Structure 1
Amino acid sequence: MRNITGQKGRGFDLAAALETVAEQPSVNLTLAELVSAYSAARCDGADTRLRKWVAAFGTISAWELTPDKLQVAAQAMREHGYTPSAVNRDLSALGSAYRWAREKRFAPRGFRSPTLDVPRYEEAIRRVEVPSERIERLRAISLAYPDRRFGVFVSLLIDTGARKSELLDRYGREFNVDRCEVLAPTTKTDKPRVLFFTSATADLMRRVMPNMRAEALVFEGRVPGQPISFRKAWATCTVAAGLPDLHMHDVRHVAAASLLRAGVTLPVAAQVLGHDPAVLARRYGHLETTALRRAQEQAWNGRA
């Protein structure tokens, strides 16, 4: 037997170690089976969003679906009245399912998601302007929801500007309530980052969930090991707050605008949010310009 032990960098036989890693065969899934499995694991509503795609391609092997077929389908959607953003969101949801399959090693070795080679449509930039008092009203209303964890979730969304999956997929061990931090080791950008929340939210967590288990999802749903979606709770509370059209993801836009209005630069705001700086600049570059002008004017006044 070949020795593979030893300190890192010394006495380690990588070739021997590779032989000990079990080769996991790919799983022969149809697209319908892939979407169903992914939706059950992530509870993010992908099965509903991708229903039309499953109807069109559901019986085809998920690993044999080509970019050309997806591009033609996307074009058909556009020609039948779907907006560019709706088509892009569908393709992104499908791409998330493929990325999940690769993470779980269900896909064949070397498999490349066909969605990566489908060009996205140019779409109107969505800017969300919500007064801070409305957002705080939403926070207050969510705290009275029967499932008290929803109030924690909304407070975390508002504080961190995180994507909903970056919070719903977190385990107790990834929260440091004393430091007001959440470690998100896997994100949409495939880069780990730390999310920061307020001491008030930390106090709320201690009251609502004093016995968080390290190896359990913080926002576990009825199915063990699966996160809750909070879709019903969100719909109820946003209507009560007078924000019926506000999406969970819109809270990220609100957080971005708040950071830039506070004088945070675009590169720093992008790091805080785990966002593409170029996209952030297109959406909110005008706010950074306003903050820079204010800083310059303060400097002028200081010289006077």
Structure 2
Amino acid sequence: MVGVVGSSPIAPTNFGSFQRQVTAAKRVFQPEHFTVLKTKDLAMTDFESSISRLHRGTRKIDLRAALSQQDQSQEFAADLLFSELCRAYSSTHYDGSDLQLRKWIDLFDGRLAWSVTSEELDKAGVAMIEHGYSPATVNRNISQIGSLYKWAARRRITPVGFRSPTLGMVRYPEEIRRVELSDDEVQKLLDGANAIKDRRFAVLIRLLVDTGARRGEVLERSWGQVDMEKREILVPTTKTGIPRVLFFSKETKQFMERVWTPQEMANETALLFESKRVSLQPIAFKRHWLWLVSSIGRQDLRMHDLRHHRAKEMLDKGAPIAVAAQALGHSSQILTRRYGHLEVSSMRKAVTQSW
């Protein structure tokens, strides 16, 4: 069933997506304004009822109150320190950002989050290069700060009129890192991962090889975002800000069913790779990865190289760069810059085979 607000269709929702919509909307409103109602077996607030009516075609929202609440949130965050913003961001991201942001927290210690300038970031980048950091590493650091401010903007906690200091910054020239990883070496990684006591590590490696996803995009997933029947994983928030779906193989599905019980997979809020030491946070598996690459004699490999391998495989099999970019969550320009030479090879093969 499709609901309509005015003339705009609203996609059918299930209970999970409906609850997520309610949770997101409540950020704008004060909870004490609602009374709890009972509808069948579902406890609903007045506001949840109004959301339900929205799906039936009725508008119920006080826009003045909503915008006023947003303004109050922005005023509250105006005195947020850079260190506080970084720690808030790192508490919800498990991509190593906490380690990368440490030097920046030290640099801007005691500073307001919104007082950092492009000039300061540029000078810091030059200093890093002069002290031996590669331009690629500096670019990743600046990109991380950009992601930090994008996240703050999406959370609507930036002051009115704030503009990220990373906007308009020119990337430092860098050599593109191309790592050759043979099919035989990939198989050694898959086989070697089985030697780790925590079987979830082997699942992680399989998923990274299958999907070409970023490490954090897999580590942060809960069972409610996994569809075992379709062999799909929903990534609602990505580095580019565009949600996407990851696809994994039948073999990986069967392996996952050996690692987790049906009861464990039915717990929609549980993380697939939740740390046994820190609740609600995924395990990073850094030590396990270092052991694995050492065991096959490829200490130069990073987990991210499995992403490059999947991109190469897709392009070698004839996938257009635009399709590969969408599957990997990259921009077409970035993929062209890194893998454009592979698409030329595919085009030559297609043309010569047509003769």
TM-score by length of 1: 0.89
1:60 is matched with: 111
Name the counterpart of 1:281. 336
**How many Å apart are 1:182 and its aligned residue?**
0.7
Residue of 116, 127, 137 corresponding to 2:167: 116
- Secondary structure at the aligned position of 2:246 is classed as strand
- Find the counterpart in structure 1 of residue 84 from structure 2: 33
Say whether the 8 Å CA contact 1:149–1:208 is kept in structure 2: yes
Query: 2:326 is matched by which residue type in structure 1?
Result: Q
- State the distance in 2 between where 1:229 and 1:298 align: 45
Which residue of the other structure, out of 99, 116, 121, is the alignment partner of 1:48? 99
Asked whether the 8 Å contact 2:221–2:235 carries over to 1, the reply is yes
The aligned residue for residue 219 of structure 1 is 273
* Separation in 2, partners of 1:141, 1:191: 34
Amino acid at match of 2:206: S
Pairing 1:180–2:231 present:
yes
Q: Within 5 Å, give how 1:190-209 maps onto structure 2.
A: 190-209=241-260
Long gaps (5+) in structure 2: 1-32, 34-45
Larger deviation, residues 239-248 vs 77-86: 77-86
Aligned match for 1:19, one of 56, 65, 75: 65
Query: How many Å separate the matches in 2 of 1:27 and 1:43?
Result: 26
Question: Given the alignment of the two structures, is residue 229 of structure 1 paired with residue 284 of structure 2, yes or no?
Answer: yes
Determine helix, strand or coil for the equivalent of 1:201.
helix
Preserved CA contact (<8 Å) 2:95 2:215: no
Q: Which amino acid aligns with 1:215?
A: T
Q: Which residue of 1 aligns with 2:347?
A: 292
State the alpha-carbon separation in 2 of the partners of residues 225 and 50 from structure 1: 21
- With a CA cutoff of 8 Å and minimum separation of 6, indicate the structure with the bigger relative contact order: 1
The share of aligned pairs that are identical, in percent, is 43
Question: What amino acid is the match of 1:98?
Answer: Y
Q: Note the C-alpha offset of 1:51.
A: 2.8
RMSD: 2.4
Output the CA distance in 2 between the equivalents of 1:188 and 1:49.
15
Opposite residue 145 of structure 2, the aligned amino acid is L
| 1:27 positional shift | 6.6
- State yes or no: 1:150 paired with 2:205: no
The 10-residue stretch of structure 1 (54-63 or 101-110) with the greater mean CA deviation from structure 2: 101-110
The one-letter amino acid paired with 1:49 is Q
Corresponding residue pairs, total: 298
Tell me the distance in 2 between the aligned counterparts of 1:10 and 1:180: 34
Q: Are the counterparts in 2 of residues 141 and 237 from structure 1 also a CA contact under 8 Å?
A: yes
